[in-house]
Structure 1
Amino acid sequence: MIKILSDSTCDLSPELIQKYDIGIIPLYVRLGDAEYLDGVNISPEQIYKWSDEHGETPKTAAAGIEDISKYLDPSGTDEYVIFTISSSMSASFNNVRLAAEDLGMSDRVHVIDSANLSTGIGLLVVYAAELAKEGKTAKEIACEIEKTKDKVRASFVIDTLVYLHRGGRCSGLAAFFGTALKIHPRIAVSDGAMHPEKKYRGSSRRYVLDYVRDMEADLKNARPERVFITHSGCDREVVESVRKYLASLGVFKEILETRAGSVVSSHCGPGTLGVLFISR
């Protein structure tokens, strides 16, 4: 049997996790001296409250080798395809690889460095689960995913620069002027890292739709299976306006909405929204 797993930064909803029978390995979130598990016993709202009260971003950490080993069965015959957040952002990839080595399971564990985050990973995880249901071998799935990784288009538009500043990803001056001038940067993931691409201004409804409309050509060239709207807590009206726009393109069979988990939310802050898909 082939088992598909991912670390918790894939930001898939409980419904999708259940539908595709995906195992989730939670990362750690540390609020001062207190330690929590992403998606298990901490919520983004709790993180925002703590961060605002303390003026700092929570620390996050990959699951340890012992944690990961609990998801692997060295005495069985199952094969595993395991996804992690970009190796340039976390030790998650290396820890999964080391756990497989320690258990003598490297031949049965295929570790995928997604070179991405959030549902940029989730797109690949769901695709792998579909391939497994089609009867593909773990090696075939891993090879197909490696060929697909570069086609994932993951980007987000940020509502506030405060959280990026607290996490050391934005200078204090940039955060001040960004807030004062209502500047909202678009952040895209490429080559396993986050890069600023463009800045938007105005109300959330305006700048979010401007961000999505700017991707129209790429969206029309996307694989039709699905597109994700992933956000860290946005106004319902804004999310629905994005959904309506995506539906109007007539491209996607599924328009899926997910909430960003605690790890991703702790760095981007509330009001962040991304549209993520796989290009043809």
Structure 2
Amino acid sequence: MAKIAIVTDSTAYLPDDYIEKNRITVVPLSVNFGTETRREGIDIKTREFYDMLPRLKELPTTSQPAVGEFVQAFESLVKTYDTVIGMFLSSGLSGTYNAAKTAAEMVGGDITVIDSKITSYPLARMVMEAVDMRDAGKSKEEIVSRVQQIVDNVKGYFVVDSLEHLHKGGRISGVSALVGSLLQIKPVLYVTEEGKLDLLDKVRTKRKALDRLVSLLREDKQAQPDLPIRLAVVYTQDEQAAREFQDRIRQEFPDVEPDLSELGPVIGTHVGPGMLAICYYLG
């Protein structure tokens, strides 16, 4: 049975004990506070970041890992593993995947690099399913095929309190941000098939925005009623609101047991506090 190494980046937001127990290599992205750079999950933790955010005069920025960091990780792994499978933050949101791909080509060996086309909970689920399959003795080809199936089917819809963070981070246009600010709307955003962010709908209240998320989930479930679903309510900072939305989904969809997942500093920098999302895949 081939020895398979699994690699991801810090925006999967996997628990530390899970990472250690399952021998996952995590390459961190960073948050920049002026001239100070902190690696996500190492030099700055989620709670610390959200406590800092209201006190900052300027919004932080983020940066992807350097190619050399991936080279170092891959070189170490190919010495002791037969094959390496890496799953990374959407190439439509960050250069992380491309840096990993470049590093894999430089190192050589049996390294497969996958663009998740998304981030956070779905990326974590890809890693978890890969771990389960590895531990069950599945081949590299079987694992990669399953991960790619998740990539092709995953959906992400979310509501932000303000478009300010997305605009300043370059993830949404100035026109969209200005319109949202002037009209005081609550935008419903989604992750496109290319792994980028786009505006799906504009509504007047957060309640109506969450109603829209529920209706999108209902449409997908009705279209494929026999398929199992993996779903999480993803949030930034406001755990109480997330748990209330989690309860609502349980009530409206008794066959769904939603997980709960909080975004850390890097993605939190771009969406800001008070974001609520649903991320899921069927099958």
Taking structure 1 as the reference length, the TM-score comes to 0.85
Counterparts of 1:122-137 in structure 2 under 5 Å? 122-137=124-139
From 83, 99, 123, the equivalent of 1:95 is 99
Please name the residue that 1:210 is paired with.
211
DSSP 3-state at the match of 2:73: coil
DSSP 3-state at the match of 2:56: helix
Pairwise CA distance, 1:96 = 1.6
Q: Quick one: percent identity of the two aligned structures? A: 27
Pairwise CA distance, 1:8 = 1.2
Aligned CA RMSD, in angstroms, stands at 2.6
Q: What is the alpha-carbon distance in structure 2 between the residues aligned to residue 200 and residue 247 of structure 1?
A: 24
Change (3 A) 1:74 1:127: closer
Matched, 1:199 2:202: yes
Change (3 A) 1:174 1:42: same
Gaps in structure 2 of 5+ consecutive residues = none
Residues 20 and 126 in structure 1, CA contact (< 8 A), matched pair in contact too: no
From 252, 256, 259, the equivalent of 1:256 is 259
Gaps in structure 1 of 5+ consecutive residues = none
Q: What is the alpha-carbon distance in structure 2 between the residues aligned to residue 277 and residue 174 of structure 1?
A: 26
Pairwise CA distance, 1:18 = 5.0
Residues 157 and 211 in structure 1, CA contact (< 8 A), matched pair in contact too: no
Residues 153 and 282 in structure 2, CA contact (< 8 A), matched pair in contact too: yes
From 232, 238, 244, the equivalent of 1:234 is 238
Q: What is the alpha-carbon distance in structure 2 between the residues aligned to residue 16 and residue 181 of structure 1?
A: 43
Residues 208 and 273 in structure 1, CA contact (< 8 A), matched pair in contact too: no
Relative to its length, the structure with more helix (as a share) is 2
Pairwise CA distance, 1:218 = 1.8
Please name the residue that 1:79 is paired with.
83
DSSP 3-state at the match of 2:198: strand
Counterparts of 1:21-100 in structure 2 under 5 Å? 21-43=23-45, 46=49, 49=52, 53-56=56-59, 58-72=60-74, 73-100=77-104
Pairwise CA distance, 1:180 = 5.4
Taking structure 2 as the reference length, the TM-score comes to 0.84
Q: What is the alpha-carbon distance in structure 2 between the residues aligned to residue 50 and residue 241 of structure 1?
A: 24
Q: What is the alpha-carbon distance in structure 2 between the residues aligned to residue 99 and residue 256 of structure 1?
A: 33
Pairwise CA distance, 1:165 = 2.5
Matched, 1:224 2:225: no
Q: What is the alpha-carbon distance in structure 2 between the residues aligned to residue 195 and residue 62 of structure 1?
A: 21
Segment of structure 1 superposing worse, 61-70 or 32-41: 61-70
Pairwise CA distance, 1:15 = 5.3
